[in-house]
Amino acid sequence: LKTEVIAIADEILKGMVINSNSTFISACLGKMGVKVDRHTVFPDDFAILKQAFTDALHRSDLVICTGGLGPTLDDLTRSVAAELFSSPFIFNEEIANDLIRRYGPSLTSLQDQATVPEKAVILQNSIGTAPGFLFEEKGKMLALLPGVPLEMEAMLQDALIPILRQKLPDQIGYHSERLYFCHLKETALDPTLRLIQKQYPSIDLGIYPGYGTLLVALRSNPLDLSAAKEQITAAFPTYVFTSSSGKIEDALIDLLRSDKKTVCFAESCTGGLLSHKIASIPGASDVLLGSFVTYSNKLKQDVLKVSKSSIDQQGSVSAQVVQEIAVSGIAGPSGGTKDKPVGTVWAAIGGKDSAAEVFKLNLRGNRQIIMLTTATELLGSLYRKIRYGIDLSKGF
C-alpha cells in the first residue's frame, strides 16, 4: 500500500504556519501499521491541485488531503476532486439538517457546505461546518479533510480511520519500539547503534534528538527488536525514561504519582515553562502544587526571600542565588558576559528533607531553545534523581 499526505495551504508555503496536520495524520496511520511515503504542500490553485491529485493517485493507493474545505472564498479542493472523479454535486439534506441543528438556519455557508459531490462518502465534521469526503475508484482512495487542526483530527479519528480499518484489513503492521533517553547526546549513542545495526541487519534504526531528550526508534521482527532494545538500554541504564507520549514530563508525572510525591517550582529564566510543561499533561493536578515565577529581582527578594546581597554580589544567575530559587539563567539574546555567556543556567533540585543539589548547564541556541532545553533537562534531572538516585552536583 502506497500512501501519501497532501496539505493544501498557502499559509504554509508562505512560511506563516507550520504543517502539523501531516505529522498528525502520519502518526495516526502509523499506529494502524500504515507507512506514509510522502508529504506534500500545495497552494490553493485549481490547475496545480488537479495535477497534484492526478499524480498522487497515479503513484499511491491512498491519498489523504487536508485543507481547502472551509467556507471562505479561497477554497477549491472539493471542486477539483469532483472533476477528477466525474462526480456531480447534489444538495445533501442530512448535512444541512446537522448544520442547522448545530448553527441555526441563518448560517451563511449552509447552502455551500451542504452541496457535496454525489460520488463521495461523507465524513462528518463534528466540530466545524465543512464536511469531509472519501472518493474511491479502481482501488484508489482520495480523502479530503478540513485544514483546521481540531476539525481535521476529530474527522480523521472518528470518521475516516474506522472506514480505513474496514477497507484495509490486511495491512500488516510492522513491529516497532521507541526508546527515550534524557541527558544523552546523539554522538554518545551513535557507536552503540552502529554495533546494533551490524549485529541485527534486519533492524530499521533511527535516532531523533529533541531539545534535552533523544528518541531511538527501532523497527523489525519481534525477536531482533527485543534483543536490540535490551542491549541499548543496558548501555545507558540510568538515562532511560519511560513515557507513552515520549515527553519527559509524562514520565516524571507517572514517577512522582507512584512515589506519592508532589513538585513545586521556583523559576526565573524559564518564566513558567517548567510548571506549564507539567500542567499541560492531563492528571497533572495529582503531583503539581504550582510554581513561583520570580522573573524580576524584586519578586525573588519579596517572595522567595533571596537576599539582596547574594544578588548584588553574585548576580541572579549564580550557584548562591539558585540555592534559594530552582532555576536561573541567561536566555539571551542580550545579557551575556564573558564569565556568564548566554546559555549559562544554574539550577538546584532538593526535597523536603534533603539539601539542594546545585548544578550548571551550558546551553547553546536562541532564547526559545535555551528555555526549552533548560526545562527539559531539569525535568530529566528530577526524573533521574528520583528513579536512579544520580548525584546531580557531580554533573551528568
Q: Which positions from 181 through 200 interact with a copy of itself, judged by CB under 8 A?
A: 186-187, 190-191, 193-194, 197
Question: Which residue among 295, 314, 360, 387 contacts a copy of itself (CB under 8 A)?
Answer: 295
Of 51 and 391, nearer to a copy of itself (C-beta) is 51
Of 240 and 281, nearer to a copy of itself (C-beta) is 281
Question: Which residue among 77, 87, 113, 291 contacts a copy of itself (CB under 8 A)?
Answer: 291
- 270 binding a copy of itself? (CB under 8 A): yes
Of 55 and 391, nearer to a copy of itself (C-beta) is 55
Q: Segment contacting a copy of itself (CB under 8 A): 116-124, 132-140, 292-300, 379-387?
A: 292-300
Alpha-carbon span 65 to 152, nearest angstrom: 10
Alpha-carbon span 15 to 311, nearest angstrom: 42
Long-range contacts from 281-284, C-beta under 8 angstroms, 24+ separation: 281/247, 281/249, 281/250, 281/253, 283/253, 283/257, 284/253
- 290 binding a copy of itself? (CB under 8 A): yes
What is the CA angle 273-276-277, rounded to 5? 85
H/E element, 310: helix 308-314
Question: Which residue among 1, 2, 13, 301 contacts a copy of itself (CB under 8 A)?
Answer: 13
**Minimum CB–partner distance for residue 272 and a copy of itself (Å):** 3
Instruction: Using CB atoms within 10 Å of the CB of residue 133, give its burial: 0 to 12 exposed, 13 to 18 middle, 19+ buried.
Output: buried
Number of residues near a copy of itself (by CB under 8 A) = 94
Q: Which positions from 316 through 355 interact with a copy of itself, judged by CB under 8 A?
A: 332-334
Question: Which residue among 2, 33, 71, 115 contacts a copy of itself (CB under 8 A)?
Answer: 71
Nearest to 142 by CA among 32, 36, 60: 60
Alpha-carbon span 7 to 167, nearest angstrom: 23
**Minimum CB–partner distance for residue 35 and a copy of itself (Å):** 8
Q: Segment contacting a copy of itself (CB under 8 A): 7-15, 114-122, 227-235, 305-313?
A: 7-15
* Cell (9 digits) for 332: 539571551
